[in-house]
Structure 1
Amino acid sequence: MIDRVLILGGSGRVGSSVAADLVQHTPALITIAGRNSTVGAQISDRLGTNVQFQSFDLADVESLKSAIAAANLVIHCAGPFHYRDGSVLKLCIEAGVNYVDVSDHPSYTRKVMEYKSAAETAGVTAIVNTGIFPGISNSMVRQDVEQLDEPERIHLSYVVAGSGGAGVTVMRTTFLGLQRPFEVWMDGKWQEVKPYSDREIIQFPAPYGPVDVYWFDVPEAFTLPSTFPVKTVITKFGTVPRFYNFLTWSVARWWHPWLLRQTPVIEFLSYVSHFMTDVTDRLSGIGVVIRSEVTGKKAGKAARSLSTLVHPNTAISAGYGTGSVAQLLLSGQLNKPGVWAIEEALPTDLFQQTMQERGIQIQSELELSDG
């Protein structure tokens, strides 16, 4: 039997990248669902005969139920996840259908984690926070953690060039992340930090070089310390051109929090930012760089495991991250009933296998010292 995959938000930049990856690496029949019939039809025509478009809104519960019941796997790409609840996962559990998402907001991750026991009982594997960051980034951390005998500190940082090749939804996600302080795991305890604070200059691989990164509210801030026995987890984000960092920092520092909780304000900031990146993308590119650094001990010595990844298109690399997880679920290589963050569910050997199949190069090094 041929597998059938339903991609919610499949006509968006990330959703269509996931569909393109699945066309390349699986024989599955794919339904991309969204509200824009014109764009959806164009994407399905471009991706080939294994892809069809279905128009419906997530609020149309009956259409959503019917589409889920016809699938072997549902991939949720309909962000911003700040506004979503766990209803899609709930329907998947009721239908006995496996689930993957590209969620990138902590509140959503916490909501779907509440369905863990229900998914386990139903035999449904649900893997959240796939994509590029979170997603591939978290698997890079797992790979680094496994290099050490006693991991103590995780420092995970990302930089996106311009729009990253994604749509306005990514801009919304950025500004929604500035709304309120959040907790991070530092020195063995939870501490509150302000978004886009504590500027740090990190040396990234070429062509990025030194870039400013800042605290940002992401699911990894709590899923990584839940998964790995470390004392500190740092998750920081930045953009290039670097003046975008200053603009975002200014909004986080000087705009009243009440303003950032108003939908019209978020929409204004998002569309203005997207307009600006339409201009600067031609100079900066739309790529992404990830840097994972885990420090601790190995063989009784101080040790550092460092991994980096550079890709010229953020949206396409997100498609690789989610598509690879979907491929493993469809093939039966990955089967873990319950609800899991990606770093909990995906073994390093399978992660490395699927990245190699997609030509993704992750540079890794391990350093030992007597200090």
Structure 2
Amino acid sequence: MTCYRDRSIALWAFFLLLSNTFKHACSLNALVVGGSGRVGGSTVRWLRTLADRENLDLTVSVGGRSVKSYETAKRKGVIPTQGVDFVPIDVDWDDDKIMTAIDGCGIIVHTGGPFQGRTDPSLLRCCVKLGVPYVDVCDEWELAVESKKLQDKAKEEGIAAIVSSGIWPGVSALMAAEAVARLGRREGTDQQKKCESLDFSFFTAGTGNAGPTIVSATFLLLATPVITYLNGKKTEKEPWTEQRDVDFGPTIGNKPVWLLDNPDVPTTATTLGVPRVSSRFGTDPLFWNYLFGAMKAIPRSLLYNRDAMQGFALFSEPIIRLVDKLVGATNAMRVDATAQDGEVITMKIAHPDLEQCVGLATAAFAVEVMRGTVPPGVWFPAELPDEPRSNILLTAKEDAFVYEV
């Protein structure tokens, strides 16, 4: 009797898995939440481009709070004018209302930042309940930690989810994982040296064409203690301190960078077992860097006010756009993995436009989920298996003028 019951349960589980697989294979429809913004719009465009290359029958929709923003995005060319529908959704809604909005979707891609100050992974939770795969570009560590708590439930439901994807965090963590894997590896053997430190360095000219959202996110990060790892222990430091000059490669050269919080730090420290990890960021024009440093004098309670910082960034949009035209939109990343004996593996990727490359990277993560190369669970990029890591890094090569991976 027990054997018969076990076989019945196994058969039921098989048909449930088959049903979910068939459902998602036949209805490849992606909802990009926050798709009216610069990052979201770029993700929409790249999802369509990559799906065409993969011969995926994919329909992409834009989710957001305002149909007006959606229409404006179409008018400005942020999203295609044809074939992209609008779905009303707000991550601050209750779960029942969110689930009604996303029911029937094949995958959710959450680009609706800034994520700073948020701690409730409501959209991911609803996706897990409904059995919908999920990808986001969360750069808020506390929110990422809460998302990770849904790991067991996602595995039970057979759902793959990736949090903190995109270009950085995201591709940058894959660069770190690849560097650590290669460090000191001897040809023909499986031996490799242990990585003792990881240094993440990022540079963006202006806002990288990403607009006010990245400015407001930076303001919020200036009020956020920077997570670093020292001797295997999490250590919080003041943001925009400990300046370094970093060489980002041809045409960019040396740029000053300062400590800034980045979830790549704790995810790689814990996942890859690296005892010393830190992350730094800098921008052009040089004046912006000093402005960010001066803004630390503003009371933290005001800097961490999402509405106030978003309002200030929107008010400054004409100046932001002017600066972007003057300095360009270059985005550059460098990851240095250092062994105890001093051997260093350095990886660099640079693109001419942050808006374009973050959409490309985010779409690449989503495509790997749709391909089925990402197993069920809630994953940080550094935890991904070799196949999706290699595929995403290769996709990120597109349009790069520096690619040393």
Q: Deviations over 1:292-327 (max 9, x none)?
A: 111116xxx642111111111111111111101111
**Aligned with 1:307: secondary structure?**
strand
Pair 66,268 (structure 1): closer, same or farther in 2 beyond 3 Å? closer
The within-5 A match list for 1:196-215 is: 196-215=240-259
1:354 is matched with 395
Q: Aligned ranges for residues 251-290 of structure 1 at < 5 Å?
A: 251-252=295-296, 254-263=297-306, 265-267=308-310, 269-271=312-314, 273-290=316-333
Separation in 1, partners of 2:124, 2:27: 23
The percentage of counterpart residues that share the same residue type is 28
Q: 2:384 aligns with which of 345, 348, 355?
A: 345
What is the aligned counterpart of 2:294 among 250, 253, 268?
250
Give CA deviations for 1:78-108 in whole Å, capped at 9, x if unaligned: 1111243211111000001111001111121
In the alignment, the residues of structure 2 paired with residue 35 and residue 167 of structure 1 have an alpha-carbon distance, to the nearest angstrom, of 19
Give me the whole-angstrom Cα distance separating, in 2, the residues matched to 1:239 and 1:175: 13
Deviations 1:128-185 (A, max 9, x none): 1111110111111111111112211111110111121113221111111121424310
Paired positions, count? 359
The residue aligned with 1:368 is none
1:89 paired with 2:94, answer no
Pair 1:17 & 2:58 matched: no
| Number of the residue aligned with 1:221 | 265
**Cα deviations across residues 208-231 of structure 1 (Å, max 9, x unaligned)?**
222111111111121110111222
What is the match of residue 307 of structure 1? 347
After superposition, residues 223-238 of structure 1 pair within 5 angstroms as: 223-238=267-282
Aligned in 2, Cα 1:232/1:169: closer, same or farther, shift over 3 Å? same
Q: 1:182 to 1:162 in 2, by over 3 A?
A: closer
2:91 maps to 58
Q: What is the TM-score with the length of structure 2 in the denominator?
A: 0.83
SS of structure 1 residue aligned to 2:346:
strand
Distance 1:51 1:258 in 2: 39
Residues 251 and 346 of structure 1: CA distance in aligned 2, closer, same or farther (over 3 Å): farther
* 2:59 counterpart of 1:29: yes
CA RMSD between the two structures: 2.2
Three-state SS of the structure 2 residue aligned to 1:6 is strand
- Residue 270 of structure 1 aligns to a residue whose secondary structure is helix
* Deviation (angstroms), 1:266: 2.3
Residue of structure 2 aligned with 1:127, choices 159, 162, 165:
162
TM-score by length of 1: 0.90
Pairing 1:240–2:275 present: no
**Structure 2: 5+ residue runs without aligned partners?**
1-25, 52-56, 184-191
Q: Is the 1:44–1:51 Cα contact (8 Å) retained in structure 2?
A: no
- 118, 126, 142: which one pairs with 1:107? 142
The answer on whether the counterparts of 1:17 and 1:315 sit within 8 Å (CA) in structure 2 is yes
C-alpha contact (below 8 Å) 2:43/2:360 kept by paired residues: yes
Q: Which deviates further from its counterpart, 159-168 or 48-57?
A: 48-57
Task: Specify the structure having the higher radius of gyration (Cα).
Answer: 2
From the superposition, tell whether residues 328 and 37 of structure 1 become closer, same or farther in structure 2 (CA, over 3 Å): same
1:80 counterpart (80, 100, 114): 114
Give, as a single letter, the amino acid of the residue that structure 2 aligns with 1:30.
V
Q: Secondary structure at the match of 1:166?
A: coil
TM-superposed CA distance for 1:359, in Å, is 4.4
Distance in 2 between the 1:42 and 1:247 partners?
31
Could you tell me whether the CA contact under 8 Å between 1:99 and 1:126 is conserved in 2? Answer: yes
Question: Would you say 1:152 and 2:196 are equivalent positions?
Answer: yes
Aligned equivalents of 1:177, 1:167: Cα separation in 2: 16
- Structure 1 residues 60-69 or 322-331, which shifts more? 60-69
CA contact (8 A) 2:62 2:86 kept: yes
Offset at residue 49 of structure 1 (A): 4.7
Aligned counterparts of 1:288 and 1:99: Cα–Cα separation in 2: 26
* Unpaired stretches in structure 1, ≥5 consecutive residues: 366-371
**Correspondence for 1:369:** none
Matched, 1:118 2:118: no
Tell me, yes or no, if structure 1 residue 8 matches structure 2 residue 52. Answer: no
Q: Secondary structure at the match of 1:154?
A: strand
The 8 Å contact of residues 352 and 399 in structure 2, kept in 1 or not, is answered as no
Aligned-residue offset at 1:7: 0.9
Whether the aligned pair in 2 keeps the contact of 1:162 and 1:241 (CA below 8 Å) is: yes
1:331 equivalent to 2:361? Answer: no
Please give the alpha-carbon distance, in whole angstroms, between the structure 1 residues aligned to 2:316 and 2:259: 20
Partners of 2:196 and 2:244 in 1: CA distance: 20
Call closer, same or farther: CA 1:71–1:192 in 2, change over 3 Å. Answer: same
Q: How many angstroms apart in 2 are the aligned matches of 1:68 and 1:55? A: 10
- Secondary structure of 1:82's counterpart equals coil
Residues 352, 82 of structure 1: CA spacing in aligned structure 2 closer, same or farther, 3 A cutoff?
closer
Which letter does structure 2 place at the counterpart of 1:160? Answer: T
Q: Name the CA distance, whole Å, in 1 between partners of 2:61 and 2:383.
A: 28
After TM superposition, give the deviation of residue 247 of structure 1 in Å.
0.7
Counterpart check, 1:143 vs 2:178:
yes
SS at match of 1:47: coil
> 1 CA distance for matches of 2:98 and 2:165?
22
**Residues 53, 265 of structure 1: alpha-carbon distance in 2 compared, 3 angstrom cutoff:** closer
Report the CA distance between 1:265 and its aligned residue: 4.5
